[in-house]
Amino acid sequence: MSTLAEIEKAIETLPPEQWLEIRRWIDHRLPEIQGTSQRRTLPRVARTGQAITQQEIDDALDAE
């Protein structure tokens, strides 16, 4: 994989829990912009093997 399009395509094929792991990794490494932290993280969920719903993610982010 050498292009962003190839990376995006590979990520889209991952199961939801692996996609979320990558998202957390990216969010954790997001650089600060103009001296203020623009970083947002996804809610931590237990590794149950069950997919987290978009509504659960939205609710957790709204609670921040």
Domain-embedded: residue 26: yes
pLDDT score for 37: 55
Domain-embedded: residue 19: yes
Q: How many domains is the chain built from?
A: 1
* Whole-structure pTM value: 0.43
pLDDT score for 38: 55
Nearest-angstrom CA–CA distance, 8 and 10: 5
pLDDT-derived band at 19, boundaries 50, 70, 90? confident
Domain-embedded: residue 27: yes
Chain center to CA of 3: 20
Domain-embedded: residue 17: yes
Domain-embedded: residue 46: no
pLDDT score for 8: 87
pLDDT score for 32: 65
Containing domain of residue 56, as a range? 4-40+51-62
